[in-house]
Structure 1
Amino acid sequence: MAATRRRTGASGRRRWPRRVLVTLLFVLVLLVGYGAGLYFWADQRLRTTEAFGDDSDRPTGGKGTDWLLVGSDSRADLTPEQRKQLHVGNDGGLNTDTIMILHYGDSGPYLVSIPRDSYVPIPGHGRGKINSAYSMGGAKLLTRTVEQATGLRLDHYAEISFLGLVDVVDSIGGVRICVPDGGLRDEKSGADFDAGCQDMDGVQALQYARARYSDPQGDLGRVKRQRQLVDAIADKALGPSVALPPWKLIPFVRTTLDALTVDPGTGVGALASMGLKVRDLAGTATVPVASEPYVPGAGDVVEWDRDKARRLFTALKDDTAIPTFDSK
């Protein structure tokens, strides 16, 4: 009997690696099935818009991948109470509050902010502020304007609204933002923050990112806070507290998909890749500015430093390191 027990024990020990292997394979199958199901569900949920025009009117492609990331100032889906809470007013126009280019390839990833008041040629409309291109011709005119101003051929387009940004931040339980010395207070955006690192919910994050009137740098200061917010969202969303538990990940994915509008060629896989790149930025920059004159009919505008801007966009197109001016 003892010998039998020893044989059984030895056999059990020999079977133990097989049991572990079978268990691991079973878990892997469940994870693959879960992932595939989530991927299919997410891909079907994406909202799209035609964002690019005819190839004949677009720049030649460069190396690497270029995204146009846009934050629209649409108030269409906001109730009067939400407009008051978010300090966005009742303007019926539709411009772009945030315009960024994300580039990655052998070099990067780099996130480049385009000031919304950049004074550039808008095809068919003369010169104007770049953020007005959207209101004149939607995503297609905006991408065409950006491509012609930068010489870059964009590969993907992604847009999010005021309320969408608030919902995304809230879906991950808020973000950690470090406010510079002196704090930040802006009556128009609602920002009221002391200096130091602090947790912000969706409304507070929007107020922080949109503040510009009390900032001596104006729109140029705002684009830095917008990049800071993008980095904070990516860091939190791709961290273990959100990315691993399905009860956290699925609500975040659902909220993000509901908040985004992308071009038809952009799927969930491309969005996931973009999110990972944003979390691991090699550098950030703002298009170099030469002056901020007043233009009759347009107001205060931003004029690019043409030589420095050309060097920046050439580096992006060639997929090489961006110049060091105003980089992170």
Structure 2
Amino acid sequence: MDAQSAPEPVAEEPKRRRPRWRRIALVSFLVLALIGGGGLVAGGLYYRSVESDIDRVDAFDGIPAESRPEVVATGAMNIMLLGSDSRDPDNTSGSRTDTIILAHLPADRSSAQLISIPRDTWVNVPRSAQGRGGRDAKINAAYAWGGVPLMVQTVEKFTGVRVDHVTIVDFSGFKEIVDALGGVEIDVEKGFTSRHSLTPDGRREFTAGRQTMDGAAALDFARERYAFADGDFARIRHQQQVIKAILDKAASGGTLTSPTRLNSFVRATADSVAVDESMSLVDFAMELRHLRGGNLTFLTCPTKGTGMIGNESVVLADKPKADKLFDAVRLDTVPEILAAAK
């Protein structure tokens, strides 16, 4: 079927063992793994008991082995982070992913590069085991047509990068995470009005400048796209800002030094995150316990902007630049990753 064909109807959301992952933001995983590591070293047995309650997903079930990219850089790790915004007025079915991030962890674990892939990026979606897909579409359609495994297949086909692990959470959980930290500092580049706010009248005014945001304000800031000419690109930038602000606040705001706060924080995140069957958050966190917000670089897959394909507004990847970026990821050459993303 060609790229101009009518879109397939959206399937019902694939069933999961438990729905608790919906309650917390994508950043929960990052904070638990990257920031919680300090506490995990001292309390390994306790945190392993916490990990036993984390939801698991069959992220790689049914993916043909021959279709997957080869591992090139031994020791590096690539994690696909999927998030949805259940409060998004456009997300009525709950079966599409609003946020797709490929997180690259170099073999030396000295840094991390988080590459956002716009949800409307026009790609080829492989055919799922259920016979869905097998044509060009927006990248987030893969989740609706074949759940996490087809999303893995689609991202691997588009990037050429092998996905080692997957985690899924809900961006609306920003509110709980930020409030648990006592607010975060955000630099608003340009004032705007959110008309899909959590306030009673659905409006929130943001003024330019650095300011402290509570959970509701941070969520409104991270999810708004209609107020900007570049729409979802602005939302990606704001999500990245909030993730970094949360990581920095968690590292500097006493979370690590207060057993009570760390316990509450880790318990809340562990109750809300879903990861693939083989991932150990405890081991992962211990590996990355030295990372902080300053070691993270947030990037966006190179694009040529937006365009129309049929009656769909889509994001058009800049394939030569994107291929160069993901080649660097595959080879685990961090300087080239950073250069290719410019």
Please report how far the alpha carbon of residue 90 of structure 1 lies from its aligned counterpart in structure 2 after TM superposition. 7.1
Aligned residue number for residue 101 of structure 1: 102
Aligned residue number for residue 279 of structure 2: 266
Runs of 4+ with >6 A deviation: 31-34
Match of 2:246 among 209, 233, 242: 233
AA aligned opposite 1:243: L
- TM-score, normalised on structure 2? 0.76
- CA 296–324 in structure 1, closer or farther in 2 if over 3 Å, else same: same
- CA 243–324 in structure 1, closer or farther in 2 if over 3 Å, else same: same
Contact 2:40 2:47 in 1 (8 A): no
Q: CA separation in 1, counterparts of 2:230 and 2:211?
A: 23
Which protein, 1 or 2, shows the higher relative CO under an 8 Å CA cutoff with sep ≥ 6? Answer: 2
- CA 325–224 in structure 1, closer or farther in 2 if over 3 Å, else same: farther
Q: CA separation in 2, counterparts of 1:92 and 1:306?
A: 30
AA aligned opposite 2:82: V
Q: CA separation in 1, counterparts of 2:213 and 2:280?
A: 30
Aligned residue number for residue 119 of structure 1: 122
Q: Could you list the per-position Cα deviations for residues 36-68 of structure 1 after superposition, in whole angstroms to 9, with x for gaps in the alignment?
A: 342222211211101123433211113211111
Secondary structure in structure 2 of the residue aligned to 1:45: coil
Aligned residue number for residue 145 of structure 1: 154
Secondary structure in structure 2 of the residue aligned to 1:324: helix
Aligned residue number for residue 307 of structure 2: 293
Aligned residue number for residue 307 of structure 1: 320
Secondary structure in structure 2 of the residue aligned to 1:188: coil
Aligned residue number for residue 339 of structure 2: 324
Aligned residue number for residue 213 of structure 1: 226
Which runs of no fewer than 5 residues in structure 2 stay unpaired? Answer: 1-38, 128-132, 198-202
- CA 90–128 in structure 1, closer or farther in 2 if over 3 Å, else same: closer
Aligned residue number for residue 129 of structure 1: 138
Aligned residue number for residue 49 of structure 1: 57
1:281 maps to 2:284: no
Contact 2:44 2:282 in 1 (8 A): no
Aligned residue number for residue 22 of structure 1: none
AA aligned opposite 1:159: I
Contact 1:43 1:268 in 2 (8 A): yes
AA aligned opposite 1:67: I
Aligned residue number for residue 77 of structure 2: 65
Q: CA separation in 2, counterparts of 1:274 and 1:122?
A: 33
Question: What is the aligned residue count?
Answer: 284
Q: Could you list the per-position Cα deviations for residues 151-174 of structure 1 after superposition, in whole angstroms to 9, with x for gaps in the alignment?
A: 000111111114433322222222
AA aligned opposite 1:113: S
Match of 2:267 among 254, 267, 270: 254
Q: Per residue, is there more helix in 1 or in 2?
A: 1
AA aligned opposite 1:147: E
Secondary structure in structure 2 of the residue aligned to 1:192: strand
Q: Which moved more, 1:41-50 or 1:313-322?
A: 41-50
Aligned residue number for residue 175 of structure 1: 184
Contact 1:164 1:259 in 2 (8 A): no
Q: Could you list the per-position Cα deviations for residues 190-223 of structure 1 after superposition, in whole angstroms to 9, with x for gaps in the alignment?
A: 5531111222222222211111111122111211
Aligned residue number for residue 28 of structure 1: none
Q: CA separation in 2, counterparts of 1:256 and 1:191?
A: 28
Aligned residue number for residue 255 of structure 2: 242
Q: CA separation in 2, counterparts of 1:104 and 1:90?
A: 31
Please report how far the alpha carbon of residue 149 of structure 1 lies from its aligned counterpart in structure 2 after TM superposition. 0.4
What percentage of residue pairs aligned between the two structures are identical? 36
Aligned residue number for residue 18 of structure 2: none
RMSD: 2.4
- TM-score, normalised on structure 1? 0.79
- CA 33–199 in structure 1, closer or farther in 2 if over 3 Å, else same: closer
Larger Rg: 1
- CA 36–91 in structure 1, closer or farther in 2 if over 3 Å, else same: same
Contact 2:247 2:292 in 1 (8 A): yes
Please report how far the alpha carbon of residue 259 of structure 1 lies from its aligned counterpart in structure 2 after TM superposition. 2.2
